[in-house]
Structure 1
């Protein structure tokens, strides 16, 4: 039994050391065990599918749901101006965020969430920047404060229409894949 335990610890250690940059190892270890403990405290494993809550239609695994919560928490921090190197998002609207992922559907939402997970693991210092970019794309899609030519007036020479959810999805995917 002791041998099995030691092998598990060694494998976990090698995985953590291999996945994170040296200056982020302490943070990575803490984050890994925090996420693991949070799942275990509620009796769930990372592969369990979440069937309750606002994102239940997406059929997210517990680990994906946790990452989506991390994205949302980062947006709240950005709203409050917690990061001095990124402008605040005073107009953050949680309904836009929820609507975006629900409108994307399960497959595309999971794909974006996994990409954000890779950013968080491989480039944690870029995670908040990419979350900021995510919200700018969401806001552009849903905000009535952003006016496009052809909406309520004809005073523009070039017609620029509101982007579709597909266009925003592919724009986000291309941006994130570009840094990975």
Structure 2
């Protein structure tokens, strides 16, 4: 049964209408589509794709993300200017890395040091050394400055320089290692 808000086809509606149309609101976007019963072919390729999604969703819950990590993923989703959540972005990147058979390394346990007049260090707890770059800037959509990580025993440190006091900076870390996929 469709729930109408003002006259039909005007302000909005939600639900199905006589198994012919489905009215919905998805992330603030009003949508009407034909009612269909989806096919479920269960091919080997489809089962493999479902396995990728199952793995990605499971790892979202077990990768050890803190509340701050989830906020960072949500901020990345906003920066992409698509109707996505941080969870959606993570699953997209994770599934793409599984399809491309890349090694996924999770970036967790990130510590932002105390800023000085023009520098700030960012440290990640890492068991082994690998090539990665920290990109930073004053806009969440334009991070053009970059710095390579320096590995020391169990940590990778990035020294951001040329900062301005009382300015908010955004950053993300991305692997530059061949055959790997990761991002904060």
Max Rg structure: 2
RCO higher in structure (CA 8 A, sep ≥6) = 1
TM range (shorter): 0.3 to 0.5
Q: So what's the TM-score if we normalise by structure 2?
A: 0.32
Select the structure that is richer in helix.
Answer: 1
